[in-house]
Amino acid sequence: MALSDILAGHSFTQGMPPGLIKKLFELAREVSLEPDTVVFRSGEESKDFYLVVSGSLSVELSTPVYAINIQTLAAGDAFGWSALLRDSAHFQVRARERSLVLCLDGQRLVEACRQDPRLGAEIYRRLAEVVATRLRATELRLLEFCGFLNHQSSRRPPKPTAR
């Protein structure tokens, strides 16, 4: 499948006008990840924004001794949102299995959003949904660790709804 088709079919870009998807296409490249590949570590500057095409990745809270899985990402998910903000990565992301991701250069994407306010509005609205989902996953894991939830109830957090 062509990169443009993969990008247009990804859940992050669903409903986005074709002209805006074309702008994203100019910033995207495919990256294959082998199992246990660390995409970025906690505290490292995240330079790229990623869309998961296939496989699965683990968003982890990493310590020198162990890593805690906060959320498992699969096809249709996105990560690396801190590349679009002035912040470093707070979580580690690691491939759980062979995975394919689309990688968008964060700095170039921020600049494209500045130049095209429509693109910026679309990207940052969708980015807010990604951040809200990650926050909910973190909250559920914390509740689980405190003994308020069992593991089965915290597998995949629901997508946030507008209030």
pTM of the entire predicted model: 0.84
Note the pLDDT of residue 75. Answer: 98
More confident: 97 or 83:
97
Check pLDDT > 90 for residue 11. yes
Q: Is the per-residue pLDDT at 85 higher than 90? A: no
Domain 3-150: give its CATH superfamily: Jelly Rolls (2.60.120.10)
Please tell me the least confidently modeled range out of 2-16, 29-43, 78-92.
78-92
Per-residue 3-state assignment (H helix, E strand, C coil) for the chain: CCHHHHHHHCCCCCCCCHHHHHHHHCCEEEEEECCCCEEECCCCCCCEEEEEEECEEEEEEECCCCEEEEEEEECCCEECHHHHCCCCCCCEEEECCCEEEEEEEHHHHHHHHHHCHHHHHHHHHHHHHHHHHHHHHHHHHHHHHCCCCCHHHHCCCCCCCCC
Asked if pLDDT for residue 161 goes beyond 80, the answer is: no
Q: What confidence tier does 154 reach under pLDDT thresholds 50, 70, 90?
A: very low
pLDDT the model gives residue 163:
47
